[in-house]
Amino acid sequence: MATVPQSIAISSLSNRTQSLPPALTSSPSLSLSICWKPGSFAGFSGLRIQLPCSRSVSSLTSRKPRALRPSGHIVCEAQDTAVDVPTVTDATWQSLVLKADGPVLVEFWAPWCGPCRMIHPVIDELSKQYAGKLKCFKLNTDDSPSMATQYGIRSIPTIMIFVNGEKKDAVIGAVPKSTLTASIEKFL
């Protein structure tokens, strides 16, 4: 038997009840994720409102859309875009960064940091551009605060370049790709 999905994307609030199968409207444990049409957030694509899991679909159909906003939260789906840069942690730091052959670029970041999410695609491009010449990693400072403290990270994003286990350069902030390229080129 098919299982009930954990979230359902609905393209329009005006026809939300018509788009749901009758079997789903009676499910008390169903979480509903409403995806607004592009333009509903005035030029912000990739945003959706996610309602808490405690609400049932049947209780949502009787409410006006404005009544839904205070109980849910806006989720940015852009943060889940493909970033192919592998993660390094406290446990893997020694083997992946300090004992690596050749230069290593490490991005210190956090999921709540807007500039960090802006620079992720740039780091991803650099990782592909310098494949075989430079190893790129990202370190979540919320998950590994001891590494951030050890290297004096006071602002994120911070990009550090290590050569033979030694810190050689650091770039702080969401900078253009050309700035990072110039920094990388010094150590290749």
Query: Block means of pLDDT (10 residues each) for the chain, length 188 residues?
Result: 40 42 46 44 53 52 51 54 78 94 95 94 94 94 94 95 94 95 94
Q: Which residue has the tokens 């709540």?
A: 112
- Tokens encoding 14: 């005006």
Residue 33 CA to residue 25 CA, distance in Å, equals: 14
Using an 8 Å Cβ cutoff, are 184 and 161 in contact? yes
Measured in degrees and rounded to the nearest 5, phi and psi for residue 140 equal -80, 115
Query: Phi-psi region for residue 65, left (φ > 0), alpha (ψ -120 to 50) or beta?
Result: alpha
Q: Is 53 a catalytic residue?
A: no
- Catalytic pick from 35, 53, 76, 116? 116
User: What angle, 0 to 180 degrees and rounded to 10, lies between the N-to-C axes of helices 114-129 and 177-185?
Assistant: 50
Q: What are the domain boundaries of the chain?
A: 9-80, 90-185
Size of the chain, expressed as the number of residues it contains: 188
Q: Which residue has the tokens 């075989």?
A: 132
- Tokens encoding 75: 């989720």
This model's pTM is above 0.95: no
Region 90-185: CATH code = 3.40.30.10
- Across 126-148, b (16+ Cβ under 10 Å) vs e yields bbeebeeebbbbbbbbeebeebb
- Tokens encoding 99: 């004992």
Q: What pLDDT does 4 receive?
A: 39
- Catalytic pick from 35, 76, 113, 136? 113
Q: What pLDDT does 84 receive?
A: 79
Mapping DSSP to helix (H, G, I), strand (E, B) and coil, where does residue 49 land? strand
Q: Is 76 a catalytic residue?
A: no
Residue 123 CA to residue 180 CA, distance in Å, equals: 9
Q: What pLDDT does 181 receive?
A: 96
- Tokens encoding 78: 């852009």
Mapping DSSP to helix (H, G, I), strand (E, B) and coil, where does residue 73 land? strand
Q: What pLDDT does 77 receive?
A: 53
DSSP states of 151-163: TT--SSSEEEEEE
Radius of gyration over every alpha carbon of the chain, rounded to an integer in angstroms: 22
